[in-house]
Amino acid sequence: MSHLFPRILVVDDDADTRQLVQMILARAGYEVVLAEDGESGWKSLMEARPDLLLTDIMMPNLDGLALLRRVRAHSPTRTLPVILLSAKATVDEVAEGLDLGADDYLTKPFHKTELLARVRAKITPPALPGDPAAPERISGLLSEGRFMDELRREVDRVNLDGNTACLAHLTFPEARRIRQTLGADADLASQVASDFQESDRRLDLIGRDSSGHFLILLPHTTSEQARVRLEAFGCRMASRIFHTSGRSFHLTPATGFVVFGAGATADRIRQQVERALEHAALQLDLTPAEYDPSMERAAPGAHPVRAGKWDAVRSRLLVPFQLAAVLLLSWVLPFFAYRGLDSIGFDISRYVYLIVVAALAATAFFIWLEGWIALRRIEPPAEPGSPFPPATAIIAAYLPNEAATVLETVEAFLRIDYPAPLQIILAYNTPRAMPIEEEFRELAARDSRFLPMRVKGSTSKPQNINAALVEVTGEFVGIFDADHLPEPDVFTRAWRWLSNGADVVQGHCVVRNGDASWVARMVAVEFEAIYAVSHPGRARLHDFAVFGGSNGYWRTEVLRRTRLYSTMLTEDIDSSIRIASYGGKIVCDPGIITRELAPTTLRHLWDQRVRWAQGWYQVSLRRFWDSLRSPALSGRQKAGIIWLLGWREIYPWIADQMFPLIAFLALKAGGLDKLDWLIPIFVITTLFTLSVGPGQTLFAYWLGDGKIRRRKGWFWSYLLLSSVFYTEFKYIIARIAQINEWMRVRSWKITPRAEPGQAVVPAPETPG
């Protein structure tokens, strides 16, 4: 598939002219490649395969006329449109250029309007007489006026018969740029209309408004029916390849809808569906957004609700309340339940004891099994299945929180030596303009591979990534957080997997600021236990891996179909389970390494892990049963789903039952000293369970990153801390996360990012 928007190669030895032309063309929606002389221009021509060459005549070494001769003599570029630029060329030189095959000539200085007009004339094919560009002249597509007439008739019918109907509003973010750069998009509109008309429901209508958005009317339709139909239609739109003006590309549908009944008016319905469309256009996750009155409060221009004093007090009291609730539910209530049942003749302690012992032993066994399996290192296929294609890196960032690290990250990606074109997209959101954005623009002007993209209205990482997909040109996409510094081979190694059948590849995230605090050191070793041991071990055991949110590599078409949902606190795990349930292949490669920043304080670690745990629980609630019913999953994979989504949510409650159980048994026996602590099953299970911590630490040391392994003291500290408090710390967090989800407490406290020694910018809460 060709690149989405026309690509123009600009060759000029004057830097000011290059930058001026690039700015004019980029703002008009063109992709621009720059070269400073004829020789470098010829090299760029072979690599970039542009749609138009814009070259100065007077240049040192290889001048514009000599470059033109090469272009016309080379078979693959013989028909390439060429526009000559010059301020001092003689009439004879201009004539010679035209004789050599130049398509046009532009004199410096030029006006931007003239430049754009001449460029469009050479790239956009002329409209044919009678070209049916108007919406009402496209087969099956109603004009806005006719559509509104039909909507009013449907409102009248609904008011008479009491049924419900649906109005949907569909748009494509790419449409405006397509119209700007390729002219009329009647071909696209007719393709959308044709796809819609394949439906068996002949009463459904589709039209188009003056802005180019699509209007869809679904009579006799409930909310659930509308959601199912519109989501299926949107997914079909996202999966297909569109063609217009000789180009092929993907589109990203955003759909808002409202279901209306008796008492509705056409004008009010239209206002509501536009609010829903605004919401859908922010998410870009292929999920239709149904109108809700809360969207009015969140609409652009609405006054934000200020947090009151009670909100601040509630925020400070939240953690103590959570801890008290967990203590009550996991220790106090079970203890009194054992006593109460015993008082009426039902002593269940023996059965609970056996269940707890079995759970502890089984969990310890599988953790050991993961470690032993991970000892056989996972290596990608020796050779790629096909040549290295264009690739894209999407770096998702929140400013100002990540302003201190993001520029270093971008520059690190620009230094990657990848054998094909590598596009770097920085997709960021910020509540206010920042000086660093000017640095982004300057870097983009120097290096055309870099595209900074401020996502207006975004409040989450999934929204940033979904928005960036509109600009992606790579055949596969790497997703990264703003603090990840990559090793040089990450993209080449990932392609060896993707070109041999994988849909997603998860790499190895290594902590690079372990010296910052004891918390960072602990997390550094924990990440080795996760990414070097647990992830590869589970991937082999369960026959599927999980995408971890960063340092993950996707086939672009798979990411376009899957998207990331901003309604999920762990959108990465959610997308992983959905892909696995659809039969996709996710692999884990510990050899694909990026280095990131860990939280440096216990409070920041707490906030991060509560969000992670609650996100896992959300996925368990929404995906567990559907995954088990999926025909695409094998029995082995479904066992992995039970382990990841079922057992991980139950086990933290079971593991702590030993405490109230022992307290009950001691009370019943007359004291702790009256208990028989040397029961073989208890001793063996206790020793086996306690062996897990040293075992995980040892596996992490054997399989971990070389730079981390050199810090042996970190592993001893981790072993001590995990034995003393960290394991129970994580169990408490898992239980609190479930309580939060049931209480609908779903704030996302962004983890502060700063290099050691830099000030940490306070991170606000954003909705998950």
CATH number (domain holding residue 100): 3.40.50.2300
User: What b-and-e string marks burial along 674-703, b requiring 16 or more CB atoms within 10 Å of the CB?
Assistant: eeeeeeeebeebbeebeebbebbbebbbeb
Same domain, 71 and 206: no
In a domain, 302, yes or no: no
Task: Mark whether 238 and 100 lie in a shared domain.
Answer: no
How many residues does this entry show for the chain? 768
Close Cβ partners of 539 (under 8 Å, ≥ 6 residues apart)? 378, 545, 586, 587, 588
Q: Kindly report the pTM of this predicted structure.
A: 0.78
For 488-537, what is each residue's pLDDT tens digit?
999 999 999 999 999 999 999 999 999 999 999 999 999 999 999 999 99
**Which CATH number fits the domain that encloses residue 555?**
3.90.550.10
pLDDT grade for 765, boundaries at 50, 70 and 90: very low
The reply to whether 157 and 31 lie within a common domain is no
Q: Whose CA is closest to 517, among 603, 593, 594, 402?
A: 603
Work out the burial of residue 592: count CB atoms within 10 Å of its CB; fewer than 13 is exposed, 13-18 middle, 19 or more buried: buried
Model confidence at 306: pLDDT above 70: no
CATH number of 157's domain? 3.30.70.270
The span from the CA of 539 to the CA of 545, in Å, is: 4
Asked, for residue 53, whether it belongs to a domain, the answer is yes
Domain end position, chosen among 281, 297, 313: 297
Read off the pLDDT of residues 10-27 as tens digits, 9 standing for 90 and up. 999 888 888 889 888 887
Q: Both 149 and 109 in a single domain?
A: no
DSSP string covering 282-321: HH-SSPPEEP-THHHHTSTTPPPPPP-HHHHHHHHHHHHH
Look-up: residue for tokens 């928005």?
Answer: 467
DSSP letter string, 42-57: HHHHHHH--SEEEEES
Token pair belonging to 644: 């990841």
Check whether 133 has a pLDDT greater than 70. no
Q: Which domain holds residue 237?
A: 135-297
pLDDT digits (tens, 9 = 90+) for 253-304: 999 999 999 888 999 999 999 999 999 988 888 899 999 988 876 554 444 4
Residue after which a domain boundary falls, among 248, 280, 297 = 297
Average pLDDT over residues 336-353: 90
Q: What is the pLDDT of residue 15?
A: 86
Q: Do both 578 and 685 map to the same domain?
A: yes
Digit-coded pLDDT (tens) for 394-405:
999 998 888 889
Residues 76, 213, single domain; the answer is no
**326 domain residue, yes or no:** yes
Residue by residue, DSSP assigns 312-323 as HHHHHHHHHHHH
**Residue 2 is assigned to a structural domain of this protein:** no
- Single out the residue in 123, 150, 172 at which a domain terminates: 123
Report residue 768's pLDDT band, with 50, 70 and 90 as the boundaries. very low
pLDDT > 90 fraction of the chain, expressed in percent and rounded: 50
Reported in sequence order, the residue ranges of 565-641 that DSSP labels E, i.e. its strands, are 586-596
Per-residue pLDDT, 202: 61
Nearest to 358 by CA among 613, 650, 667, 678: 650
In contact, 661 and 349? CB cutoff 8 Å:
yes
Closest CA to 655 of 372, 370, 371, 334: 334
Q: Are residues 359 and 269 in the same domain?
A: no
Cis amide prior to 300 (ω within 30 degrees): no
Considering the domain boundaries, does residue 313 fall inside one?
no
- Between the two ends of the chain, the Cα-to-Cα distance in Å is 36
Identify whether residues 427 and 331 lie together within a single domain: yes
What's the pLDDT band for 314 if we cut at 50, 70, 90? low
DSSP 135: G
* 567, 468: one domain: yes
What is the pLDDT at residue 751? 62
Same domain, 73 and 93: yes
Supply 756's token pair.
Answer: 């050691």
Query: 545-564 b/e with 16+ CB inside 10 Å = b?
Result: bbbbbbbbbbbbbbbbbbbb
Rg of the Cα trace of the chain? Answer: 30
**Which of the pair, 427 or 44, is modelled with greater confidence?**
427
pLDDT at 183: 63
Report if residue 311 sits inside a domain: no
Q: How many domains does the chain have?
A: 3
Is 39 among the domain residues? yes
Examine the domain organization and report whether 66 and 147 are in the same domain.
no
Mean pLDDT in residue range 170-189: 74
537, 645: one domain: yes
When pLDDT is cut at 50, 70 and 90, the band that residue 767 belongs to is very low
In-domain check, residue 310: no
pLDDT digits (tens, 9 = 90+) for 321-331: 888 988 899 98
Provide the pLDDT for residue 683. 78
